[in-house]
Structure 1
């Protein structure tokens, strides 16, 4: 596991458990304490996390830097019209709807509308997720220029769960399928308990898409029939958003 991947996992762990201590994170992430401590030190130095002043022991919380990065993803997308479209998807399927933006090799959630289910997906705003391990990321990866996409696929990609697709040929085949049907599917590839369906919001002028809409749900609740219904509805939503003047 690369140092960057470890840092992302630790950052995500802090966001989910905050205030979080080294022992808590080591246990929940399955990473040695010494490795977790190094990642925490690096994240603190970069101002992504800080010590919780209300804790009697050293425990960590996420700073506003995550939201600041998310805010760079185009404030025009976080308009009331887009939120209305997100709420319509939530009301139809009663699962979380995420607006995500690509920052280099990761996506971040910049806005979300939550399900009313007692058990639902929890994903904090601003936390980075690898492109190849998320539905939004794969939708945006499929829309990249061929050379940029090839450069990403040439890497030694991290496997986050048993379901994560990391093989070059398998990912290329999946990307081709995404390009044909227009939407992507994540079946527990970032977290085993979380799955989703996503579609990229088409960019104007023929450039690569920078944002996507995703419906995220607990893996056991996302059936093949639901995926078949969600995909086309997401395509309708992103096509409509792409026609709006959001400036």
Structure 2
């Protein structure tokens, strides 16, 4: 995230600005591009990039461009919200994928977005824009609606006051519409998100509970918008979410009988 304080950026701010210059559409950058995108002098960028490359946080390609290095992936793998959750979820995500051979996703909330912790996709599954480690606006995704619906009230109200990005003509773009959608999720315990991100796909999502019986993640299956009755997928998605919740020690998952 770009430093925007009135105070002069610290050394840590400068380093994070350099790392934050990389994006999904620009995974490889030259030194001058890093300088411009990080808002730093070229000499400062050169010094920081050199240090990061020596530590393995950045890697220099043969063409002179820099990419994020494996060392950062090693550090990121220690995140409790990421890899620990992923390990608990993988058996159930794999089972759900094997039953459908469609896109299966696991995500957490990082307002205003969801971050995808894992995605399993087959060669013939419908194309999706999400990726492991990627972000999408929470209101436009099935997993995001589930996570927002179970977020603290102050988080919901803050989100409802935001402009809502439109991806397709079917994207929820009004606070009133979003408020109703979140209430429906809390009532039903799942959501069907129909062509909100792309017109070719829809998703079925359900919440994953942690050891305090709070919603810590959401899973979804993404299928073609045509040729599927999404309601037939609801039991499987909810059962997988309940299995992950049980793995995470959620009391409600232990109490609920399998359906």
What is the TM-score normalised by the length of structure 1? 0.69
**Distance change >3 Å, CA 166–CA 244, structure 1 → 2:** same
1:232-243 paired onto structure 2 within 5 Å: 232-243=235-246
User: Given the alignment of the two structures, is residue 211 of structure 1 paired with residue 227 of structure 2, yes or no?
Assistant: no
**Distance change >3 Å, CA 132–CA 63, structure 1 → 2:** farther
* SS of residue paired to 1:136: helix
Contact 1:69 1:126 in 2 (8 A): no
* Equivalent in the alignment of 1:13: 25
**Bigger relative CO (Cα 8 Å, ≥ 6 apart):** 1
**Distance change >3 Å, CA 105–CA 170, structure 1 → 2:** same
* Equivalent in the alignment of 1:177: 184
* RMSD of aligned residue pairs (Cα, Å): 3.8
Between stretches 115-124 and 86-95, larger displacement belongs to: 115-124
Unaligned runs of 5+ in 2: 1-19, 50-57, 250-259
1:185-204 paired onto structure 2 within 5 Å: 185-204=192-211
Contact 2:126 2:201 in 1 (8 A): no
* Equivalent in the alignment of 1:77: 85
* 1:71 shift after superposition: 5.7
Whole-Å Cα distance in 2 between the matches of residues 43 and 92 of structure 1? 48
Number of residue pairs the alignment of both structures matches: 214
What is the TM-score normalised by the length of structure 2? 0.66
Q: 1:53 aligns with which of 58, 61, 75?
A: 61
* Equivalent in the alignment of 1:41: 37
* Equivalent in the alignment of 2:147: 140
* Equivalent in the alignment of 2:55: none
Whole-Å Cα distance in 1 between the matches of residues 119 and 206 of structure 2? 15
* SS of residue paired to 1:185: strand
Unaligned runs of 5+ in 1: 1-7, 22-36
Whole-Å Cα distance in 2 between the matches of residues 128 and 71 of structure 1? 19
